[in-house]
Amino acid sequence: MDRLVVVGVDGSSSDPAAVEESAREAQRRRAELRVVHALSWPVRPMYTPLDPSPLNRLVNEAAQHARSVAPDVKVTEALKTGDAVAVLEAESRAADLVVLGPRGMEGFIGMLMGSTAASLTAHAQCPVMVVREEPAGAGPVVVAVDGSPLGEKAIEFAFAEAELRGADVLAVHAWRPDYAPPGAGPESAERLLAQALAGRADRYMDVTVGHEVLSGETREVLIETSKTAQLMVLGARGRGGFAGLLLGSVSQALLHHAHCPVTVVRANI
């Protein structure tokens, strides 16, 4: 199957950043880029049909912007009728990655508010990247590690993405002494990280790997680390919520407050 990156646009100020990053992601993967807008038709009198022309222009302008960023990438356009999360979930079935901006009037960014965020990350059939409006830095690809089997796909994605970008990987574990088993010290967290990363250096020989055990509350640790990252990668369950330490409030905090793009990778895709 051909490689495909999907970007959702909704006419908000975050569209340019999402389109630019999706074009670069498609270029890295040698993939096609598909620009999608989800149209939920309002209830209107029969004699006042909604004119789709402005929305067609929105999608076309976004596609043209993508072509200007990555001229060698094939870009297609789609105006789809339906709920944004349902449209993106359907698009994700054939995609390697779905890219979105951090805000919007309705459409796609509604999913960053409450249950729709959990819905998309739980049901999308590929990783989902949320891009900030401000440019990301040139630091490492950071992956949050909690030691659970559910995080394996996120670690694998982080290494593959770092290889595509020519970037380093930084694996981070947030350690809280008050939650640790009796007698367990930071060295147990070091072992957890070493086990989670085992074998990957041999498969990704061009990727420099670092790891850090940071003491503190998980949300605060990851948000602070995101200041010097070019991408943050999180693992997710298949039916909503995040594994281990990466529970709901943490995921929401990162999606809203991280200083770099955030990619959520489901465990069972």
For residues 247 and 194, give the distance between their C-alpha atoms in angstroms, rounded to a whole number. Answer: 22
What mean pLDDT do residues 3-7 have? 97
141-266 has which fold?
A: Rossmann fold (3.40.50)
- The confidence score (pLDDT) of residue 182 equals 60
- Residue-wise pLDDT tens digits, 47-66: 555 677 888 899 999 999 99
- The confidence score (pLDDT) of residue 239 equals 44
Strand 32-39: give its sheet, edge to edge: 75-81, 32-39, 4-8, 97-100, 128-130, 262-266, 231-236, 141-144, 169-175, 209-215
- Look up the CATH superfamily of 4-130: HUPs (3.40.50.620)
Instruction: Answer whether 4-130 and 141-266 agree in fold.
Output: yes
For residues 29 and 171, give the distance between their C-alpha atoms in angstroms, rounded to a whole number. Answer: 23
Residue with tokens 């449209």: 87
Residue 238: closest CA among 142, 119, 130, 148: 119
What is the enclosing helix (H) or strand (E) of 25? Answer: helix 15-29
Name the least confident of 60-74, 143-157, 179-193, 216-230. 179-193
- The confidence score (pLDDT) of residue 64 equals 97
With a cut of 70, say whether residue 110 has pLDDT above it.
no
Half-sphere exposure at residue 98, Cβ-oriented, CA atoms within 13 angstroms: 29
- Residue-wise pLDDT tens digits, 136-182: 778 999 999 887 777 889 999 999 999 999 999 999 988 876 665 66
Any idea where the domains of the chain sit in the sequence?
4-130, 141-266
- The confidence score (pLDDT) of residue 119 equals 64
- Counting residues of the chain whose pLDDT is more than 70, the rounded percentage is 79
For residues 229 and 143, give the distance between their C-alpha atoms in angstroms, rounded to a whole number. Answer: 10
What mean pLDDT do residues 76-80 have? 94
